[in-house]
């Protein structure tokens, strides 16, 4: 690994596209450029208009490039959407190494065996995330290479997505003039910036409430145990306000951000706000409590659906550190308290950590995925530095190939 590398993460969301450029080395991730713009070409995390998405990507990246004074070539991009599905797989192989010692080739073969699941023709594997390995009767092994035994088993978490959706994201990045280093599941990326090792080990639920979807990831003993997506997010709250109050979308978004809450506040019940009329008739005033009456049912629905999803996992009773909420939707006042009530577990706001530089611009829940993407890149660039030392080549094109090999043999946690 060189003294420093430039890594770029692009968070393609339903309501906004964010770009984060970081200078990384062995010791730190330093954010040197941040850019964001409104996202016009996506719906529920899926590209529905390629040209609009391309323009938004170019705008966001150009803003970050100008701030960082660098030219971006290759980016790590997040993927989400209600097309994301996950399953758990299990594989078993005979250990073939000399003296019955597990080799990296054995690990590759057992991962291949575990991912041999039947998928519909319109779906592809995005991530294969090893959960644990077993050598004969020994369980809970993180890295089996070098151990001796007869039989090697692996349990993995397989994340799949619609082929068309992944290809459209890839196409938009390339049409915008950049190369894709890798496509990363967004809640996985967010986890790198908002969760610490204790939370991953002891059990934690991460919910990223975005504009069009709410992405869920459950961690236990250092790895992902369950992922899911709820096709509702902050945009649904905005739409509810716009419809009920008969106000433009932009005005509804302003009301939500400036005056909205997921819970009633007795001190503010008597306060009033001005509502613009969608027909441009006279503006009118309403009590803030009316906003909460509209917002609270939708936020409760989003969180309840998320809770129903985590109940499907066998690990729900092991989430001892509680719930971490991130994404723009988590910033709505009262959301943390409402989540604690629905999930019956402690909840906190997920603030990106683990970086220096433009802390003021990037240290907020809306930046969790973008910051996580560059931390993700730094973490794995460091771990595969041996490939560079052995002369496998440099640059991001070879980095992309090394990442693919890394996913298929070791995993990302």
Neighbours of 380 (CB within 10 A): 19
* Residues constituting the chain: 413
Taken in order 145, 148, 153, 155, the sign of the CA dihedral is negative
- pLDDT confidence of residue 81: 83
pLDDT for res 395: 36
pLDDT in tens, 312-363: 888 899 999 999 999 999 999 999 999 999 999 999 999 999 999 998 889 9
Q: Rounded CA gap, 112 and 205, in Å?
A: 28
Q: Which residues pair with 43 in a beta bridge?
A: 46
Could you read off the pLDDT of 245-262 as tens digits, one per residue? 999 999 999 999 999 999
What the chain holds in terms of domains, given with CATH numbers, is 1-84+160-196+353-413 (3.30.420.40), 85-159 (3.30.1490.110), 198-350 (3.30.420.40)
Query: Average pLDDT, stretch 79-90?
Result: 86
Residue 231 DSSP code: S
Mean pLDDT of 384-404: 40
pLDDT at site 120: 84
Percent of the chain with pLDDT over 70: 91
What percentage of the chain has pLDDT greater than the value 90? 61
Task: Mean pLDDT check: name the lowest of 153-167, 198-212, 376-390.
Answer: 376-390
User: Are 123 and 162 in contact, with CB atoms under 8 Å apart?
Assistant: yes
pLDDT in tens, 19-69: 999 999 888 899 999 999 998 888 877 888 999 999 999 999 999 999 999
DSSP 132-146: EEEETTEEEES--TT
Q: Is it the case that residue 400 has pLDDT exceeding 50?
A: no
Please report the pLDDT score of residue 406 as a whole number. Answer: 40
In whole numbers, what is the pLDDT of the chain averaged over residues?
87
Residues 155-172 pLDDT 10s: 999 998 888 888 899 999
Q: What distance lies between CA 315 and its chain's CA centroid?
A: 20
pLDDT 10s digits, 170-180: 999 999 999 98
Whether pLDDT at 376 is above 70: yes
What angle, rounded to 10 degrees, do the helices at 249-259 and 288-310 form?
90
CB neighbours of residue 124 within 10 Å: 15
User: What mean pLDDT do residues 109-138 have?
Assistant: 88
* Residue 408: per-residue pLDDT: 42
User: Higher model confidence: residue 342 or residue 14?
Assistant: 342
The average pLDDT across 367-375 equals 94
* CA pair distance 247, 285, nearest whole angstrom: 12
Residue 382 confidence (pLDDT) = 52
**Contact between residue 50 and residue 269 where contact means Cβ atoms under 8 Å apart:** no
Which residue, among 77, 80, 37, has the nearest Cα to 170 in the 3D structure?
Answer: 77
């Amino acid at each position: 690994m060189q003294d420093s590398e430039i890594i770029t993460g692009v968070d393609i969301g339903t309501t906004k596209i964010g770009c984060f450029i970081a200078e990384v080395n062995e010791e730190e991730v330093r954010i040197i450029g941040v850019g964001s713009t409104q996202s016009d070409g996506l719906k529920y995390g899926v590209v529905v208009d390629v040209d609009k998405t391309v323009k938004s990507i170019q705008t966001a990246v150009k803003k970050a490039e100008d701030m960082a004074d660098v030219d971006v070539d290759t980016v790590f991009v997040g993927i989400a959407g209600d097309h994301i599905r996950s399953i758990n797989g299990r594989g078993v192989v005979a250990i073939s190494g000399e003296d019955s010692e597990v080799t990296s080739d054995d690990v590759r073969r057992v991962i291949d065996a575990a991912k041999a699941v039947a998928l519909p023709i319109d779906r592809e594997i995005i991530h294969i995330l090893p959960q644990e390995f077993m050598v004969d009767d020994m369980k809970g092994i993180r890295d089996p290479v070098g151990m001796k035994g007869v039989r090697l088993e692996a349990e993995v978490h397989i994340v799949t997505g619609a082929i068309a959706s992944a290809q459209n994201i890839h196409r938009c990045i390339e049409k915008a003039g950049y190369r894709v280093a890798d496509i990363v599941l967004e809640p996985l990326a967010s986890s790198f910036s908002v969760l610490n090792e204790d939370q991953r080990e002891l059990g934690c639920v991460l919910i990223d409430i975005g504009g069009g979807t709410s992405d869920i990831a459950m961690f236990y003993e250092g790895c992902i145990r369950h992922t899911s997506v709820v096709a509702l997010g902050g945009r649904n709250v905005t739409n509810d306000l716009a419809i009920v109050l008969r106000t433009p979308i932009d005005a509804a978004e302003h009301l939500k951000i400036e005056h909205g809450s997921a819970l009633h506040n007795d001190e503010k019940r008597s306060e009033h706000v001005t509502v613009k009329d969608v027909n441009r008739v006279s503006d009118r005033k309403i009590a803030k409590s009316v906003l909460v009456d509209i917002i609270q049912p939708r936020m409760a629905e989003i969180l309840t659906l998320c809770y129903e999803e985590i109940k499907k996992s066998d690990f729900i009773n092991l989430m001892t550190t509680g719930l971490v909420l991130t994404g723009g939707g988590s910033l709505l006042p009262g959301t943390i308290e409402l989540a604690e009530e629905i999930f019956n577990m402690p909840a906190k706001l997920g603030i990106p950590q683990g970086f220096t530089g433009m802390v003021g611009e990037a240290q907020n829940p809306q930046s969790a995925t973008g910051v996580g993407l560059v931390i993700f890149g730094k973490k794995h660039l460091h771990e595969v530095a041996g490939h560079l030392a052995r002369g496998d080549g440099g640059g991001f094109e070879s980095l992309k190939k090394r990442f693919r090999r890394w996913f298929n043999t070791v995993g990302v946690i």
